[in-house]
Amino acid sequence: MAQWARLSGKHWRKPRHEVLGYPDPHGERSLRQAIAAHLRLNRGIACEWQQVFVVAGAQQAFQLIAATLLDPGDKVWFENPGAIGARNSLIQSGAELVPVPVDEAGIVVEEGVRRAPAFRLAFVTPAHQQPLGAKMSLERRLALLEAAESSGGWIIEDDWDGEFCFQGAPMATLTSIDRSGRVIYVGTFSKTLFPSLRLGFLVAPPHLVEQIGICLDAFSPGVPTALQGIVADFIVEGHFATHVRRMRKLYQERYQALEEAVREQLAPDLEVVPTQTGMHTVAFLRPGLDAVAMTRMASRRGVTVAPISRFCLEPIARDGLVLGFSGFTPAEIRAGVLDLRHCIRELAELGAGAAYWTGDSAGMVLSREPNSP
Amino acid sequence: MAQWARLSGKHWRKPRHEVLGYPDPHGERSLRQAIAAHLRLNRGIACEWQQVFVVAGAQQAFQLIAATLLDPGDKVWFENPGAIGARNSLIQSGAELVPVPVDEAGIVVEEGVRRAPAFRLAFVTPAHQQPLGAKMSLERRLALLEAAESSGGWIIEDDWDGEFCFQGAPMATLTSIDRSGRVIYVGTFSKTLFPSLRLGFLVAPPHLVEQIGICLDAFSPGVPTALQGIVADFIVEGHFATHVRRMRKLYQERYQALEEAVREQLAPDLEVVPTQTGMHTVAFLRPGLDAVAMTRMASRRGVTVAPISRFCLEPIARDGLVLGFSGFTPAEIRAGVLDLRHCIRELAELGAGAAYWTGDSAGMVLSREPNSP
């Protein structure tokens, strides 16, 4: 925060003509260059700064991509379960979302091909599937790229928490192994810095750069210059890399606290799916315990969780809870887990648990819920 | 700028939980309250703060209103000539834009009724028609409200430079005389403060508040908290009102410099249409001089003007130039006018002037040009 306040002060002391006018709708050059350099070094993405477009968060990136590429009725592969914010943005274009199941290796490409071979766009979260947490296998990545090449479709790689791979070697991004320019990479500073910034970016493959630029010129007057300038300086001076490294370690500790507390306090009713990345994980509920009822009960105790079913376009085999850990200390996490234990007891006593998944949100395609678990 | 830097520093020294998290998608309460109070006092709009929604500039407001109210094929009255940014935003929804002519009393309501009696939305700029500069008469305002009531349609009042009425008494806003809640008021800080902020707002009539809120929840994760906080303080501490007052006087001086210079140097080739408000005016060209050719020539001399035809959905009787004056000192304005004189001479010598309006952009409905002249 001290560095941030210093850089903010520095920005407002610049000459007026640099800080007051309309921003470049494509993003400030200094930030586009800083992002390109960061991605080259940290995500293996060899891009020019002209391919980087700065937008008001990942959701605006999805809306922009949809406006550029999708016509009403176009088929879009969408992970099931999958990210709510992206779902809302893509639906807005009138495209048809085709739910494609996800397993421990990520999106099941062959099922996507079976359901919609001529897809126009596929939305995936390869580093850390949102919300199930799988890391997409290399085999699947190659199969997905091949499917996009055959259909002439595009792929959105939403790398929302990919910087926070705290265990094992991070896998190469889809964008970095894409040889035919089908992948659009989307990143957000909401996770790597903080959400109140409202800053995200996308990296367009070379032959989409012009079209994306035209859409931004027509529909978006750009995002605030001041915040772009401060973030650019924050990256260039090295504070960003330091911050991400620190957070990665912190999130690992917090994940371990969660995993341990659930294992000790809640097994076998709740079972954490091991995760190696990011800011949240999922935990499956013992059959007979209802995730929606659990969520309501937890909320009354001040604990925010979300049923996996809320992220679904069609029902899945086993429901559970999405558990965020990045914003809480180990002590807070342990206290929250104890609260969940009370909920499970209460639920069992009430006999309120349904014997199978109740599909609370199946067919619900538009959600007021924010994307973040 | 000194006040601004001070308020910015103050913001970043607040407790972290107040400045880092996701913003309220409807806008920060402090800013919504400050805007409501300002509008009550300065624009005669009696609204509750819950009716005020903060967005990333006026264009996002138009997109949001379109997403909330319009289905593909819906008829939208659109001033001809009219604002380019708004045009792009409304077209995006698939609505059909119906060009409605504008005269010295504003939009010609009876022509709108003739062309599309069952309009769903009407887009107007009553305080200062964009770009022709007319102030909509009270008679027309009442007729427009009546037409909306009969058709069950809505009206967007884009008050983009309405704060800068420097001559004569400012007229009551459409919103303030709307008895049946058909008008959505849109304002922007791009004009009253500065464009790099990317902040605007809308005031929804009471029975649209819920729907607008739902759309914002689903599609917009809000705008940066920091800038909202600084602007709220800037308004509450009185700097905003002072700034607007100062600018109003400054813009009047600049307008007078422009009007005088054009009258002395360019009559009868170029004829300024008297304006009482805002940041730009139009000047009609003597028949035989081509506005598009003038624009290209002026650009080569570093002077930015725009042909009125660029703002048109269908051809108008007489073309001319849109001339911004708010960003230049009187000396710069006089120098620019001399440049235009050279252009006119060159054009006359080349014999390049078309004998009638050439319709350069008629039928062009999507433009890369930014909205501001």
Question: Is it the case that residue B190 has pLDDT exceeding 80?
Answer: yes
SS3 A272: strand
Q: Which two tokens stand for residue B262?
A: 């054009």
Q: What is the mean pLDDT of chain B?
A: 92
Pick the residue of A62, A196, A231 with the most B CBs within 10 A to test the interface with B by mutation.
A196
Interchain CB distance below 8 Å, A224 and B88: no
- The 10s digit of each residue's pLDDT in B245-257 is 999 999 999 999 9
Return the CATH class of domain A248-362.
Answer: alpha beta
Cross-chain residue pair A195–B20, CB shorter than 8 Å: yes
CA-to-CA distance for B329 and B253, rounded, in angstroms?
Answer: 9
Cβ-based neighbour number of residue B286 at 10 Å: 16
Q: Calculate the alpha carbon distances from B27 to A244, A249, A372, B286 in Å.
A: 29, 33, 18, 48
* Sequence ranges of chain B with CATH classification 3.90.1150.10: 248-362
Query: CA–CA separation, B289 vs B308, rounded Å?
Result: 13
pLDDT at B221: 81
Whether residue B295 contacts residue B305, with contact meaning beta carbons closer than 8 Å, is answered with yes
Indicate where chain B has its CATH 3.40.640.10 domain(s): 2-237
Tens-digit pLDDT profile for chain A (373 aa)? Answer: 889 999 999 999 999 989 999 999 999 999 999 999 999 999 999 999 999 999 999 999 999 999 999 999 999 999 999 999 999 999 988 899 999 999 999 999 999 999 999 999 999 999 999 999 999 999 999 999 999 999 999 999 999 999 999 988 788 999 999 999 999 999 999 999 999 999 999 999 999 999 999 999 988 889 999 999 999 999 999 999 999 999 999 999 999 999 999 999 999 999 999 999 999 999 999 988 999 999 999 999 999 999 999 999 999 988 999 999 999 999 999 999 999 999 999 988 886 444 333 333 333 333 334 344 3
Contacts of A67 in chain B (CB under 8 A): 92
Q: Quick check: B145 pLDDT over 70? A: yes
The CATH number of domain A2-237, selected from 3.20.20.60, 2.40.30.20, 3.30.1360.10, 3.40.640.10 = 3.40.640.10
% of chain B with per-residue pLDDT over 90: 86
Please state, in angstroms and rounded to a whole number, the distance separating the CA atoms of residues B198 and B259.
31
- Would you say residue B287 has pLDDT above 80? yes
- Give per-residue pLDDT as tens, A119-141: 999 999 999 999 999 999 999 99
CA distance A148 to B214: 34
Say yes or no for a CB contact (<8 Å) between B224 and A224: yes
Q: How far is B352 from chain A (nearest CA, A)?
A: 31
pLDDT value for B348: 85
From chain A, pick out residues whose CB is under 8 angstroms from the CB of B222: 198
Answer whether A197 sits within 8 Å of B56, measured CB to CB.
Answer: no
Task: Give the gap in angstroms from C-alpha B240 to the nearest C-alpha of chain A.
Answer: 16
Characterize A59-85 residue by residue with b for buried, 16 or more Cβ atoms within 10 angstroms of its Cβ, and e for exposed: bbbbbbbbbbbbeeebbbbbbbbbbbb
pTM comes to 0.91
Residue B93, pLDDT score: 87
Question: Distance between CA atoms of B331 and B328, rounded to whole angstroms?
Answer: 8
Name the strands in the sheet holding A52-55, side by side, starting at the edge strand that comes first in the sequence.
A52-55, A200-203, A183-188, A154-158, A121-124, A75-80, A96-103, A106-107
Comparing alpha-carbon positions, the chain B residue that sits nearest to A217 is B368
Going across the sheet that includes A280-285, the strands are A270-272, A280-285, A320-324, A306-307
Cβ atoms within 10 Å, residue A352? 13
Query: Which residues have a Cβ under 8 Å from the Cβ of A362 and sit 6 or more positions away?
Result: A309, A312, A313, A314, A315
Residue range B165-171: mean pLDDT, rounded? 86
Task: Evaluate if residue B367 carries a pLDDT over 90.
Answer: no
Stretch B296-321: mean pLDDT: 94
Substitution target in A62, A92, A194, A198 with the highest count of B β-carbons within 10 Å is A198
Q: Which residues on chain B are in Cβ contact (under 8 Å) with A324? A: none
Whether B59 and A1 lie within 8 Å, measured CB to CB: no
Rounded Cα gap, residues A267 and B174, in angstroms: 63
Rg (CA), chain B: 21
Residue type, A309: S
Q: Give residue A219's pLDDT.
A: 87
Instruction: Judge whether A292 and A311 are in contact, CB under 8 Å.
Output: no
CB contact under 8 Å between B57 and A221, yes or no, is: yes
3-state SS assignment for residue A79? strand
Which helix (H) or strand (E) is A306 found in, with range?
strand A306-307
Q: What is the DSSP letter of A328?
A: S
Alpha carbon of residue B357 to chain centroid: 25
Best to test chain A binding among B3, B12, B329 (most A CBs inside 10 Å): B12
pLDDT tens digits for range B323-352:
999 999 999 999 999 999 999 999 888 864
Token digits for A356? 């199978």
> Do B19 and A196 count as a contact with CB atoms less than 8 A apart?
yes
Task: Give the chain B residue whose CA is nearest to the CA of A223.
Answer: B198
Contact A196 B20 (CB under 8 A): yes
Type of residue at B196: S
* pLDDT: which is higher, B363 or B139: B139
Chain B residues touching residue A221 (CB < 8 angstroms): 56-57, 59, 85, 190, 195, 198, 370-371
Helices (H), chain B: 2-12, 16-19, 29-42, 58-69, 84-91, 109-115, 138-151, 189-192, 209-219, 225-236, 239-266, 291-300, 330-350
Give the pLDDT confidence score for residue B363 in this predicted structure.
Answer: 32
- Three-state secondary structure along A120-168? CEEEECCCCCCCCCCCCCHHHHHHHHHHHHHHCCEEEEECCCHHHECCC
Instruction: Choose among B5, B197, B366: nearest Cβ to A9.
Output: B5
Q: DSSP per residue over B34-95, as a string?
A: HHHHHHHHHS-----GGGEEEESSHHHHHHHHHHHH--TT-EEEEEES--HHHHHHHHTTTP
Q: Do B59 and A190 touch (CB under 8 A)?
A: no
Percent of chain B with pLDDT over 70: 94
Q: How high is the ipTM of this complex?
A: 0.88
* pLDDT tens digits along A347-369: 888 864 443 333 333 333 333 34
The mean per-residue pLDDT over the stretch B58-85 comes to: 96
Nearest by CB: B224 against A59, A227, A368: A227
Q: How far is CA B244 from the centre of its chain?
A: 16
- Please give the average per-residue pLDDT across B340-365, as a whole number: 61
